[in-house]
Amino acid sequence: MIKYKDGREFQLIFDADMHSYKVDGEKVPSVTKVIDACFPKHLTDWAVAEGADFFKASLEPYRLAPTEESGTFMLPAKVVTHIHKGIQTAYKSIGREAAEIGTIVHNWIESAIEYKMSGGTAPKVPKGDEVRNCIKAYKAWSRERKPVWLAAEQKVYYHDPGGVNCYAGTVDALAEIDGKLCVIDFKTSKKIYKPYHLQVAAYAQAISMQEQIDMPMAMILRFDKETGIFQEKLFDPRQHIHMFFHCLDLKAWNTARIKHEG
């Protein structure tokens, strides 16, 4: 149940399998799906890069010359077919692996935050070098920043009084840092992509509306899977929220059916 300070209440239901939200039986836009619908470019670039890497790696066993600068490759037809299919699906297998790592890291951090807030048993660090590097980065950030945790994996729902705009999402964490309320989103990606700013801004706007408070600060916190180093981006979400609403409008237009006249 989402309760607004002005007395409004909304029954928000989250479907984890579909990653979708419903309010009073009606589906409402998800923050992440709104942004992905408007900014697919970095995903496209990433998919192409993964296909290219797969192509290069698949050729190596068939190189007739020992150097990378020159030489000839001898490929049986079935290998060409294998490479063709592999290029088409490389991003899917890599994407699944990256998503699994992200999920494990997020789940561990959620447990760690709940442990800090409520006590109990500290979560054990899962196996896997990349997962452990992310957790190492999180611990280093936590020691440096000393956050006062307020919530983890909190569902939010934005519904303006006129009912024109609405959306839902899940905030990774809320914390006070240096005396300021911060909406935090954890990332295990290779870098901080620009659309991430819209995601956290949307969460901050929803919390501001629900609690009838000024917009909290927004933070993107990335944990590097290779180095175990964290990257923090703290910013004022008010400079980005208008762009998120443009994305919301664009998604609505793109999914609506255009009527045939005449």
Instruction: Give the whole-number percent of the chain exceeding pLDDT 90.
Output: 58
Q: Could you tell me if 158 and 205 are in contact, meaning their C-beta atoms sit under 8 angstroms apart?
A: yes
User: How many structural domains does the chain have?
Assistant: 1
Residue 90 lies in a domain: yes
Choose the weakest-confidence range: 16-20, 31-35, 236-240.
16-20
Residue 184 lies in a domain: yes
80, containing H or E segment: helix 77-118
Read off the pLDDT of each residue in 48-63 and give the average, rounded to a whole number: 69
Residue 130 lies in a domain: yes
Alpha-carbon distance of 75 to 78, in angstroms, equals 8
> What is the sign of the dihedral through the CA atoms of 40, 41, 45 and 46?
negative
Q: Indicate the average pLDDT of the chain.
A: 86
pTM above 0.85, yes or no: no
Residue 203 CA, chain-centre distance (Å), reads 12
Residue 260 lies in a domain: no
Q: What is the pLDDT of residue 48?
A: 65
Task: Say whether pLDDT at 79 is over 90.
Answer: no
Domain residues for the domain of 38 are 2-255
Read off the pLDDT of each residue in 150-161 and give the average, rounded to a whole number: 92
Q: What is the pLDDT of residue 257?
A: 80
Instruction: Give the whole-number percent of the chain exceeding pLDDT 70.
Output: 79
pLDDT digit string (tens) for 85-129? 666 665 556 556 667 888 999 999 999 999 999 988 899 999 999
Residue 95 lies in a domain: yes
Dump strand ranges (E) for 160-203: 166-177, 180-187
pLDDT digit string (tens) for 126-154? 999 999 999 999 999 999 999 999 999 99
| Bridging pattern class, strands 9-10 and 12-15 | unpaired
Residue 262 lies in a domain: no
- Beta-carbon contacts of residue 217 (< 8 Å; ≥ 6 apart): 177, 180, 181, 182, 183, 204, 234, 235, 236, 237
Alpha-carbon distance of 232 to 141, in angstroms, equals 9
Residue 152 vs residues 44, 88, 183, 187, 228: alpha-carbon distances, Å: 31, 37, 10, 15, 22
Residue 261 lies in a domain: no
At residue 174, φ and ψ (nearest 5 deg) are -120, 135
Residue 219 lies in a domain: yes
CATH code of 96's domain: 3.90.320
pLDDT digit string (tens) for 177-202? 999 999 999 999 989 999 999 999 99
Residue 39 vs residues 34, 44, 198: alpha-carbon distances, Å: 9, 10, 11
